[in-house]
Amino acid sequence: MLVNAKAMLDKAVAGHYAIGAFNTNNLEWCHAIMVAAEETQSPLIIQSSMGAAKYQTGYKTVKKLVNAMYKALDLTIPVALHLDHGTYEACLECIDAGFTSIMYDGSHEESFEINLKNTKDLVKRAHDKGISIECEVGSIGGEEDGVVGMGEVADPDECAAIAECGVDFLAAGIGNIHGVYPENWPGLQFDALAAIKAKTGDLPLVLHGGTGIPDDQIKKAVDLGVAKINVNTELQLVFADATEEYVKAGKIHEGKGFDPRKLLKPGYDAMIAKTKEKICLFGSDGKGWN
């Protein structure tokens, strides 16, 4: 059975490691991410953006695919199905569709007061159904599936106010960006992270924009209380690169190289390898149900 993400993230804070939250796009993504997590015996958060869910014909389809694959692969690790960067309405839909975890991204609302009010409302609705909930303060720079953020660094007092609503984990902007980091990116703002941690105690913190953050900065962020790290673009890149290589090597026309099961295989294998690499970097390998 898919689980709520709270217990695994609380354990990650206590154990000083982070759990990867990998974005799924379709069957290949879902399969690769699950196989990588099972083979490394890591707890897993598999998440869908609103755009990726729409592409797959909706939240109910995503839920059914993830749930059926979890059972068919006979996974022995805890897996949570999470909504990534949801609007208020998307959160309601995912609660209804049977997601086990949601993220309300209120950073795009007109004011912090609206973010706070909707957060309180959604915390109650999610918890009434045993679903975990992540909320956001500040914003993640860059663009993900049409959601654009300006990259404001989170105000620690606003983080404390959102934490008091009973959220299970908190995404706070600390200079992180969705997508590939520009050459002149100054790095994560650790002073801001430490100030947020001081106001939010043991609440698991979430680092978005996991693609391309140098390993030493990932490790420092985990030391400062980050327990969930989101990775999306990096899997897309390794999938695209491996597929390009296959096509450029002329393999499409070797025998039945055009068969989608062959054409998509190098990208699928590359995603398994990258997901395992991230899990080991984040330190959640071997943590399973422990």
Residues with catalytic annotation? Answer: 84
144 contributes a contact to ligand 13P by CB under 6 A: yes
155 contributes a contact to ligand 13P by CB under 6 A: no
93 contributes a contact to ligand 13P by CB under 6 A: no
How near is the Cβ of 143 to ligand 13P at its closest, in Å? 10
Of 84, 134, 136, 168, which lies in the binding site for ligand 13P, with binding defined by CB under 6 A?
84
Q: Yes or no: say if 45 and 101 are a contact pair by the CB < 8 Å rule.
A: yes
234 contributes a contact to ligand 13P by CB under 6 A: yes
How near is the Cβ of 23 to ligand 13P at its closest, in Å? 6
Of 5, 135, 174, 231, which lies in the binding site for ligand 13P, with binding defined by CB under 6 A?
231
21 versus 95: smaller Cβ distance to ligand 13P: 21
Of 4, 42, 233, 275, which lies in the binding site for ligand 13P, with binding defined by CB under 6 A?
233
210 contributes a contact to ligand 13P by CB under 6 A: yes
DSSP per-residue letters across 66-94 = HHHHHHHTT--S-EEEEEESB-HHHHHHH
State the Cα–Cα distance between residues 263 and 274, nearest whole angstrom.
Answer: 19
209 contributes a contact to ligand 13P by CB under 6 A: yes
85 versus 246: smaller Cβ distance to ligand 13P: 85
Residues ≥6 apart with Cβ < 8 Å to 83:
47, 48, 50, 53, 59, 90, 91, 94, 99, 101, 102, 103
How near is the Cβ of 234 to ligand 13P at its closest, in Å? 6
How near is the Cβ of 261 to ligand 13P at its closest, in Å? 27
**N-terminal to C-terminal alpha carbon distance within the chain:** 17
Of 6, 63, 178, 228, which lies in the binding site for ligand 13P, with binding defined by CB under 6 A?
178
Stretch 9-28 residues interacting with ligand 13P (CB under 6 A): 23
208 contributes a contact to ligand 13P by CB under 6 A: yes
State the Cα–Cα distance between residues 199 and 28, nearest whole angstrom.
Answer: 40
CA atoms within 13 A on the CB side of 240: 6
Residue 243: exposure state from Cβ atoms within 10 A (0-12, 13-18, ≥19): middle
Q: By C-alpha distance, which of 45, 48, 64, 49 is closest to 7?
A: 45
79 versus 213: smaller Cβ distance to ligand 13P: 213
211 contributes a contact to ligand 13P by CB under 6 A: yes
Which helix (DSSP H) or strand (DSSP E) does residue 149 occupy? strand 147-149
163 versus 218: smaller Cβ distance to ligand 13P: 218
Q: Yes or no: say if 93 and 60 are a contact pair by the CB < 8 Å rule.
A: no
Residues near ligand 13P (CB under 6 A): 23, 84-85, 144, 178-179, 208-211, 230-234
